[in-house]
Structures are given as C-alpha cells and as structure tokens.
C-alpha cells in the first residue's frame, strides 16, 4: 500500500496521538469508558487467545494462527507495534485491514471519544475490537502491548485461552524492577477457570504466574512439566498431554522458536484441535517479519558487500540479545563468515545488556539513531555503551552508510560477511520501508 492510499488513516492516527494523557498511567478506565460508548464490541468477539510475555509473543501467536488456518479456521489477529504501516496491527479473518475500513473505524472511535484524553494504543485497540466484532472469524488472537494486568487488551472477561511466553526484565519503569513483579503483571491476563499455557520461565517468574493461576482456578500447562520439546537431528518433537508429535525445523530461525512452536502446539491442543494433524503446517507455514528475517533483494542488498547475508531482527532487550547471539554462534559454527552488527535502540532499553552476549562473535557494531523516533538512543551514545563493554563500535549516519563502510572493509576478505540489522522493531520497520 503506498503512502498516498493510506493518507487518510495516517492523518487520523496523527490526530489521535495528540489525545495522549499528559500523565502516563496504566489504567483500564479510559478503555472501559470508550468501549461502553461504542456498545462494548469486546463482548462480541470470537473465542480469544490472549498472549502476554516479554519475548516470543508475536512468534507464538503466528504459530498458533498458522495452525488454526491449517485446520480451515479463520482468525483475527491484533499485534503491535507495526513495522512498515499501521494496517499490519489488525488482521481481519486472515487479511490485513483495508485502508477505507481502517479510516472509517478510526473516525468512528475519534468521534465517540469526544476529544477526551486517551492513549494511542488504547483508542486503536478499541478500533480493532470494533473491526473484529463486525467481521466473522472462528478465533481472535490478541497480543498484549505492555505488561498484562492493566494493558488495553485486558478487557476480555472470558478468553478461550491465555498464553504467557518467557518473561524477562523489560519496561521496569512501568511493570516493576524485579522478575517476580513483572511476571505478576504479565499474569494479570489469567482469568477465572481459563487454561493458561506457560512458556519456559525463570523459577521466580513461574512461581508468580502459578500463584495467580491457582488463585483463579486456572489450569496451568507449563513448559517442562506439562509439555516439552526435544531437538532431533532434522527437527524437533513436542511432548504434550495428548501425545507426541515429530516435526521439521520451524520456518522461523532461532533456538527460541522451537519453544515458541511447542507452546503453540500445546495451545492448539487445548483449543480442541488435532495437533498431530496440523502441527507440521503450523511450524512450516508460519510467517513473522523482522524475526531473523533474511533480506534477499532491495536497495540495502545492493549496497551491502556482494554475496553478503543480510538479516533483520527487532529484538530489543537482554534476553533477545542472548537468543540472537546463540543463533549467530550456531550459524558461525555451520558456515563461518565475518560478522557485523548495525544496531539502533530506544532509550527505554538496556543497550549494554542487549549487546553483551555478542562478545567474541561480532567484529564491529555500527551504531545508528532511529530516524523519526524521539526516543531513539543517539548513535554516539549507543557507540559509547558498546565501547564501555569492550566491543569495537562506531557511530554512523544510517544503515546504508554502515553497509557501505562494511563493503569497504570487506573488499580484501575472501568470504562475504554476515550482517545483522538489529536492536529495535522501530528500526526494523524503517528498514523494511526503505528496502521495499
């Protein structure tokens, strides 16, 4: 979709940003007020799968959606943030929302809100609920935006299933500065009697989640106790209460995706689907951009050294850095190449914690500011954070400049490099727009 064809929704979204409360507080009051005005569309959704966690929410939801669609079901999905355009956040019965429908919904919500303070995420979540309530589908996957307990999506009284992916330190200023505190916030999506699938967790986080589930009588299906994965020579297997399924490698690369796929298969089984029959399609037909996505064409490929591997990932916290470093180490073992990073991050993140795991792997980190993002870490400051942990780093103007510099450095190398553009979904979105 070109910028011209989305101009109307872009203008409305810009206006909605101006409604943001002067004091940021996590609350459901603004959501409930607007939903009440609009007739409570959240009460007229198909069965909801509600997903919270620090890492893996989007990938796990994508595996679940792929499995449901393989079983002939239609699925709504709500995710955030978007990468190239806002429409990616709202998927209606399998398809991204059309521009005219999105603009009409946003205008309806804007009018109903009457200029009252409300966050951008809240009012666009209401728009998504309106869209979902007016279009038939068999299921609705909702991804939490921030936390869980007071997240705008947490107005669903009785979801069909909740899922909590691995929890780690992130958004401490809003969710708490300890792992148990953050886990308690994520566990806020658990509802009375509703089964919850729990991904691999630190012991303290699991204990916090289990306490919340026990208080609400919610059956828990946790990694390691109720379901597990086992790596095989050419794939992996998932053991879950209904049986064992042998599977090929997931279409999404990375060791963490085996566990995300396992959680999805556990979820599909709890939803009453024959996981053995649909699991292969769930793991092989899944699509999720900017999660170790390989870029194979476009202007950036033309700028990079000839024969380069160019990868894009939106992970942005220390846990994501650890997962990516393991994946890069595995790739290095299988096919050694000079490895470089092009990194941009927001100032709400921990750059040293994210970059630390790449010690011994990366030759140099090229640090960039994220264009158009007020909360970006300045390239020079990001460089200083990398230098402080003894990584070779340099600040550059943008991603293209980094690729040109790498091309110059690699001109004498026999082996084309492996390059990872990383650190933020906002940077990833910018890259996808510019490389299209």
Structure tokens at 248: 């090929």
H/E element holding 179? helix 179-186
Q: Is the pLDDT of residue 238 over 60?
A: yes
Q: What is the pLDDT of residue 412?
A: 56
Distance spanning both ends of the chain, measured CA to CA: 11
Cβ burial of 4 (10 Å; 0-12, 13-18, 19+) is exposed
Largest CA distance in the chain: 66
Q: Report whether pLDDT(4) > 60.
A: no
* Res. 176: pLDDT tops 60: no
More confident residue, 3 or 396: 396
- At 382, is the secondary structure helix, strand, or coil? helix
Rounded Cα gap, residues 434 and 119, in angstroms: 28
Distance, CA of 234 to CA of 258 (rounded, Å): 12
Task: State the average pLDDT over residues 389-418.
Answer: 87
Query: Which of these, 216, 177, 205, 157, lies nearest to 55 by C-alpha position?
Result: 205
> Residue 158: its pLDDT value, please?
96
pTM of the model as a whole: 0.82
pLDDT score recorded for residue 411: 54
Instruction: Tell me: pLDDT of 2 over 50.
Output: no
Count Cα atoms within 13 angstroms, Cβ side, for 315: 26
User: pLDDT by residue (tens digit) across 317-344?
Assistant: 888 898 899 989 989 998 999 999 999 9
Per-residue pLDDT, 194: 98
Provide the token pair at 258: 């085996």
Instruction: For residue 291, give the nearest of 165, 128, 132 by alpha carbon.
Output: 165
Question: Do the bridges between strand 75-78 and strand 90-92 make them parallel or antiparallel, or are there none, so unpaired?
Answer: antiparallel
Q: In the chain, what percentage of residues exceed pLDDT 90?
A: 72
Q: Which domains are assigned to the chain?
A: 7-284 (3.40.1190.10), 293-434 (3.90.190.20)
Rg of the chain taking only CA atoms, in angstroms:
21
Taking 70 as the threshold, does the pLDDT of residue 315 lie above it? yes
pLDDT of 267 > 60? The answer is yes
Per-residue confidence band for 353, with pLDDT thresholds at 50, 70 and 90: very high
- What is the residue-averaged pLDDT of the chain? 91
Mean pLDDT, residues 146-155 taken together: 90
pLDDT of 230 over the 60 cut: yes
Question: Do residues 411 and 378 lie in contact, with contact meaning Cβ atoms separated by under 8 Å?
Answer: no
- Reported as a pLDDT band with limits 50, 70 and 90, residue 173 is very low
Q: What's the confidence (pLDDT) of residue 21?
A: 76
pLDDT at residue 3, rounded to an integer: 40
Range 288-315 average pLDDT: 90
Distance CA 424, CA 320 (A): 11
Which residues, in sequence order, are bridge partners of residue 96?
Answer: 91
Closest-CA residue to 274 (of 239, 243, 230, 248): 243
Q: State yes or no: pLDDT of 54 exceeds 80.
A: yes
| Rounded Cα gap, residues 329 and 361, in angstroms | 7
284-299 tens-digit pLDDT: 999 888 888 899 999 9
Average pLDDT estimate for 149-156: 94
More confident residue, 69 or 4: 69
What is the rounded CA–CA span in Å between residue 121 and residue 144? 11
Question: Out of 15-29, 157-171, 202-216, which region has the weakest mean confidence (pLDDT)?
Answer: 15-29
Predicted local confidence at residue 85, as pLDDT? 84
**pLDDT at res. 17:** 84
For the chain, what percent of residues have pLDDT higher than 70?
94
Predicted pLDDT of residue 1: 38
Q: Which residues contact 8 (CB under 8 A, 6 or more apart)?
A: 99, 103
Distance CA 399, CA 367 (A): 9
The residues near 91 (Cβ < 8 Å, ≥ 6 apart) are 75, 76, 77, 78, 79, 97
pLDDT of residue 408: 83
* Residues 217-231, mean pLDDT to the nearest whole number: 96
Model pLDDT, residue 169: 67
């Amino acid at each position: 979709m070109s910028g011209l064809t989305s101009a109307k929704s872009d203008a409305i979204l810009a206006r909605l940003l101006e409604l943001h409360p002067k004091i940021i507080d996590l609350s459901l009051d603004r959501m409930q007020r607007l939903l009440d005005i609009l007739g409570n569309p959240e009460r007229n959704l198909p069965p909801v799968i509600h997903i919270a966690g620090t890492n893996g929410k989007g990938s796990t939801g994508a595996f679940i959606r792929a499995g449901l669609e393989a079983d002939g079901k239609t699925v709504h999905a709500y995710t955030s943030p978007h990468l190239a355009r806002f429409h990616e956040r709202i998927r209606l019965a399998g398809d991204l929302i059309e521009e005219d429908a999105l603009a009409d919904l946003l205008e309806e919500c804007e009018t109903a809100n009457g200029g009252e303070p409300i966050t951008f995420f809240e009012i666009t979540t209401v728009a998504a609920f309106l869209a979902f309530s007016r279009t038939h589908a068999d299921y609705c996957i909702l991804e939490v935006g921030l936390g869980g307990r007071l997240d705008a999506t947490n107005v669903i009284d009785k979801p069909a299933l909740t899922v909590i992916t691995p929890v780690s330190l992130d958004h401490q200023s809003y969710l708490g500065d300890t792992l148990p505190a953050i886990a308690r916030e994520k566990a806020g999506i658990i509802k009375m009697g509703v089964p919850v699938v729990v991904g691999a967790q630190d012991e303290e986080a699991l204990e916090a989640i289990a306490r919340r589930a026990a208080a609400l009588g919610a059956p828990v299906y946790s990694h390691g106790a109720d379901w597990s994965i086992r790596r095989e020579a050419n794939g992996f297997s998932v053991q879950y209460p209904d049986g064992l399924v042998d599977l090929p490698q997931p279409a999404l690369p990375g060791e963490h995706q085996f566990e995300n796929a396992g959680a999805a298969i556990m979820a599909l089984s709890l939803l009453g689907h024959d996981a053995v029959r649909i699991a292969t399609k769930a793991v092989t037909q899944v699509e999720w951009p900017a999660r170790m996505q390989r870029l194979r064409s476009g202007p950036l490929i033309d700028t990079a050294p000839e024969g380069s591997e160019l990868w894009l990932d939106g992970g942005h916290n220390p846990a994501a850095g650890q997962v990516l470093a393991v994946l890069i180490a595995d790739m290095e073992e299988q096919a050694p190449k000079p490895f470089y990073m092009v990194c941009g991050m927001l100032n709400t993140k921990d750059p040293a914690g994210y970059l630390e795991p790449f010690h011994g792997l990366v030759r140099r980190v090229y640090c960039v500011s994220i264009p158009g993002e007020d909360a970006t870490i300045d390239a020079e400051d990001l460089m200083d954070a990398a230098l402080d942990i003894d990584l070779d780093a340099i600040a550059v103007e943008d991603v293209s400049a980094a690729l040109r510099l790498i091309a110059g450095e690699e001109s004498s190398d026999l082996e084309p490099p492996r390059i990872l553009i990383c650190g933020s979904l906002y940077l990833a979105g910018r890259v996808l727009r510019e490389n299209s």
